[in-house]
Structure 1
Amino acid sequence: MQQKIDRHVIAAVIATGLLSFCGVIVETAMNITFPTLMNDFKVDTGTVQWMTSIYLLLVAIIVPLSAYFKATIKTKTLFLTAISLFIGGIIIDALAGNFVWLLIGRAIQGIGTGISLPLMFNIILEQVPQSKIGMMMGLGNLITGIAPALGPTFGGVVVDQLGWRWVFYLLLPLLLVSLVLGVWGIRQGSSLQAHRFDGASFALIIVFFTALMIGINQMSATAFWSMPVAGSLTIGLIALVILVVRSLRIADPILRLGLLKNKRFSGHLYGFFMMQILSLGLAFLLPNYIQLVNGNSAMLAGLIVLPAGFAGAICAPLAGSWLDHVGPRTPILTGISFSILSLIAFSWFGQSLSNGLILFIYIGYMAGMGAGMGCVMTSALGQLGHGEQTQGNAIMTTLQQFAGALGTNLVSMIVAASQIDTASQMARTTAIGTQHALIVLMILSISIGIVYFISIPKGK
């Protein structure tokens, strides 16, 4: 008999998805506003970057707590806390009279997003019938996947026509829709349990992500072997090692890293992490290329990459439904194959990419990535026992934030290395550096394909 999804569950998934959508779209839209903010608040580039950095840092610190939150706090309480924090942060930013208040608002939004990001997938895993999980994971990825595509265009249009404060104001109606759907639709799917909060591990998570963020942010401005870069990264690495050892030794860790001993789950995790780096790297490289090499505006760059974002978002639920019928192997390997072929094409034409060629190839890449991303999450969590899936979701979402900090910086450093040649024109050195970065991403994509071929089981 065909299993049906309860309408309350659909409303809960849409509500939590919309909240995550708002978090992602603010992050991507605000990048476009940086020049305006620098002028309005009289801050430099290094300072304005903290608009993104403080947000990502708080998200990364809070996400690992998601398994603990789910076990000890009601789902609706978590949702109401997250959306209240996010709306509060949005209002603070919209009314901010100085840059400090702008950062405070972004930090509050980061805490709200950190709580909300894992909520949607936890609800799907717990309350959706097994035969429909792939489709609903795809729907969840569709909702959040449109945001990175819309963000730059949305930010550019709003800043040009209304001013940067309207980036925040215009999200309030969506957040109110999310609030209404969440209050009506979210139901408690499991009983709560008492868990001891592991404060030492949480402190190590804070040290790791803070040191990582400082180290990565300083790479473009300071020598690698300086204290701000190498010193910060070393401190972060030490904190990570202690965190891993501790999680393997205690009975109830914040992140159950012992799950990484499951080779199939670890293989999926490697590919998921690298796929995030590929997508974030391209999201930086292509608009940069359209502006600096092809000489177009930021708004046109946003419009050129927009169709690819929609292609990826649409393919996510279609591939999820495909997974429900045939299992994960075929849709995932098909998706990553499209992405590999697209990166080969990008690398081949790397120094002579017209706007039309970028639009065409990027649609192929994002269609493949959209098909693969949601299916990978579904397949990865399917390698774990039912009681382990919340922890697996926490690990994957945490890793996603780590990739977010790493992806853009990796490709920007490769491009910057070519731009050092001041004897050549900026457009030419940028094109050369972009091609080098695309080749690195292509090699990484091939490694993902190999790992998936080994890790993903055949059949349903």
Structure 2
Amino acid sequence: MPTSKSISGFQRRADLRFFLSIIAAGLLSFTGVVIETAMNITFPTLMQEFAISTSTVQWITTGYLLILAIVIPTSSYLKQRFAMKRLFLAANLLFLTGTLLDATSASFAQLLLGRLLQGAGTGIALPLMFLIVMEQAPLDKMGLMMGAAMLVCALAPAVGPSVGGYIVSTFGWRMIFIALLPVLLFSLAAGTYAIRQSSDYGPRPFDSRGLILLGAAFTAFLLLTSYLHDLLSEPLLLALLLLLTVFSLLLFVRQEKHLLQRGAHPLLNITILRHRAFTLSAMGLLCFQFVCLGIGFLLPNFSQIVQGETAFTAGCILLPGCIVGAMFAPVSGRIYDSLGARKPLLTGSALLLLSLLLFQFAIPEVGTLGLTAIYVLFAMGQGLSVGNILTYGLSALPKAIRADGNAFCNTVQQLAGAVGTSIPAAIVAACQQSAPSLAPATSLGTSRAFLLLLFVGLLQALCMSVALRRASAPHHSGNEY
């Protein structure tokens, strides 16, 4: 058995290797989100090329987020078990392999396999980027470097839809992957040279049973939500998926409690859910993620199928809002510090509800410019809310378990995004199957899906209103956590 590697005397310094390390890991995270958002624009094209339904094509996004939700909880173990450079190389090679598979896809199965490999790569790279900042950045530049790392993730959704739409309209969807190959090769070269080890690592026990149970529960639940309309005619299969979801979750909870009682390290510390303010904040965060991914799926498809717009125009609907969201990323914590939690979080919830109400009345009456303007309102609410909800929720936990709270939120946030894609897609697909004409059926399905999003938005506002009734949390920015 290999012995632990001890790292002593590591000095924090902002030199060339440090910046190249951030760039290398950041490019992987950036590329993962760019492809995720760009691929939403390609759904109508993929449906036609591979002769697949809406409920099937959405697995391009749902499958990617599912793998993210399964891999991210392992980040703490991976960091303690393997050298940073080895983790980076694994992440990059997984992502690069997935990108090559997607660029040469001759079938939908090959395309989906590539996306799953990309999800695994991003699931390793995203926590690694923030880990490098936390362990290696000079302490007097920690806030600046953490903000820069967060900006990388915030800018990617602004780039993905519009660039993806332009590439699809001009060169075809495979060029999305081909164009990113030089970026990935540069990331591989930079990371291989620059990434340094700053903490001890070595053999550690791993909660493999917990990971298998969590993966089974997530997969069964997403299959259930994605194909619910079809499963209604197959009650036995529906019941089996429901039982598998519930049974796996119950066994997972039992497994994690058992590990905690033994003093071992569980995959997820579920005792954090005993803190009401954190639990409500996490629910509010998940509702926002559900709505965000739902809108990201619905608008580009509605624009192309119903309004007859090009992929580029459909992608540009999201562009101004994503830019607004990126602008909020580095300043939302300061707003929280200055005004406290109540004002920004309740304002964010109000903007969420207003935008969803406007979408409900706008579909299908309003054109591209109107949809774009409403999405900017949504992005303003998202910018005020998402990071600050996490900060507020974590402040409700004792310091000793705040890292567990962060890991829990990151995991279930990916699941919420996957479900936020799969359920609206299932609603649209059900309407498309029941009508002979694609455009009117898609319009009806989109309206019904936005009605669901409005309900989720109301749930989000309710969760935050109740959570904010507790004693005021310390006004710290997200950098403390």
Cα deviations across residues 412-436 of structure 1 (Å, max 9, x unaligned)? Answer: 4555677788599547635642552
Please state whether the residue corresponding to 2:267 is helix, strand or coil: coil
One-letter amino acid of the structure 2 residue matched with residue 274 of structure 1 = C
Residues 88, 125 of structure 2: 8 Å contact kept: yes
Q: Distance in 2 between matches of 1:371 and 1:99?
A: 38
- The gaps in structure 1 that reach 5 residues or longer are none
Pairing 1:437–2:449 present: no
One-letter amino acid of the structure 2 residue matched with residue 410 of structure 1 = I
Q: TM-score, normalised by structure 2?
A: 0.81
Against the structure 1 CA distance between its residues 122 and 152, is the aligned structure 2 distance closer, same or farther, given a 3 Å change threshold? same
Which residue of 445, 451, 454 maps to 2:469? 454
Residue identity over aligned pairs, in percent, reads 38
Residues 133, 378 of structure 1: 8 Å contact kept: no
Residues 87, 175 of structure 1: 8 Å contact kept: yes
What is the aligned partner in structure 1 of residue 4 from structure 2? none
Which residue of 131, 153, 161 maps to 1:152? 161
Against the structure 1 CA distance between its residues 193 and 263, is the aligned structure 2 distance closer, same or farther, given a 3 Å change threshold? farther
What is the deviation of 1:308?
A: 0.7
What is the deviation of 1:82?
A: 0.6
Please state whether the residue corresponding to 1:369 is helix, strand or coil: helix
Which stretch shifts more, 357-366 or 191-200? 191-200
What is the deviation of 1:102?
A: 3.4
Residues 76, 182 of structure 1: 8 Å contact kept: yes
Against the structure 1 CA distance between its residues 167 and 188, is the aligned structure 2 distance closer, same or farther, given a 3 Å change threshold? same
Which stretch shifts more, 288-297 or 56-65? 288-297
Cα deviations across residues 127-180 of structure 1 (Å, max 9, x unaligned)? Answer: 567887666555434322333343333333222322332211111232244345
One-letter amino acid of the structure 1 residue matched with residue 285 of structure 2 = F
Cα deviations across residues 353-379 of structure 1 (Å, max 9, x unaligned)? Answer: 343222222112102212322333344
What is the aligned partner in structure 1 of residue 210 from structure 2? 201
Which residue of 259, 270, 273 maps to 1:260? 273
Q: Distance in 1 between matches of 2:213 and 2:408?
A: 15
One-letter amino acid of the structure 2 residue matched with residue 457 of structure 1 = A
Against the structure 1 CA distance between its residues 329 and 38, is the aligned structure 2 distance closer, same or farther, given a 3 Å change threshold? closer
Q: 1:5-404 maps to which residues of 2 (within 5 A)?
A: 11-37=20-46, 48-126=57-135, 137-183=146-192, 186-192=195-201, 194-223=203-232, 226-250=235-259, 251-323=264-336, 331-347=344-360, 349=362, 352-384=365-397, 388-404=401-417
Q: Distance in 1 between matches of 2:251 and 2:353?
A: 36
Q: Distance in 1 between matches of 2:198 and 2:354?
A: 42
Q: Distance in 2 between matches of 1:415 and 1:254?
A: 35
Please state whether the residue corresponding to 1:221 is helix, strand or coil: helix
Which stretch shifts more, 34-43 or 317-326? 34-43
What is the deviation of 1:403?
A: 0.5
Residues 329, 457 of structure 1: 8 Å contact kept: no
Q: Distance in 2 between matches of 1:155 and 1:274?
A: 26
What is the deviation of 1:183?
A: 4.5
Q: Distance in 2 between matches of 1:311 and 1:44?
A: 33
Q: TM-score, normalised by structure 1?
A: 0.84
Which stretch shifts more, 177-186 or 270-279? 177-186
What is the deviation of 1:49?
A: 4.8
Q: Distance in 2 between matches of 1:327 and 1:185?
A: 40
What is the deviation of 1:12?
A: 4.1
Which stretch shifts more, 142-151 or 320-329? 320-329
Cα deviations across residues 260-303 of structure 1 (Å, max 9, x unaligned)? Answer: 22333323211211110121122233334434554434432211
Which stretch shifts more, 69-78 or 96-105? 96-105
Please state whether the residue corresponding to 1:253 is helix, strand or coil: coil
Which stretch shifts more, 161-170 or 98-107? 98-107
Q: Distance in 1 between matches of 2:371 and 2:47?
A: 30
Cα deviations across residues 210-252 of structure 1 (Å, max 9, x unaligned)? Answer: 2123222222433176344342132012101110122112132
Residues 293, 431 of structure 1: 8 Å contact kept: no
One-letter amino acid of the structure 2 residue matched with residue 353 of structure 1 = V
One-letter amino acid of the structure 1 residue matched with residue 286 of structure 2 = F
Against the structure 1 CA distance between its residues 383 and 174, is the aligned structure 2 distance closer, same or farther, given a 3 Å change threshold? farther
What is the deviation of 1:100?
A: 4.5
Cα deviations across residues 45-95 of structure 1 (Å, max 9, x unaligned)? Answer: 666554444433332322221121122223332222111211122123323
How many residue pairs align between the two structures? 458
What is the deviation of 1:315?
A: 1.0
Which stretch shifts more, 260-269 or 307-316? 260-269
What is the deviation of 1:197?
A: 1.4
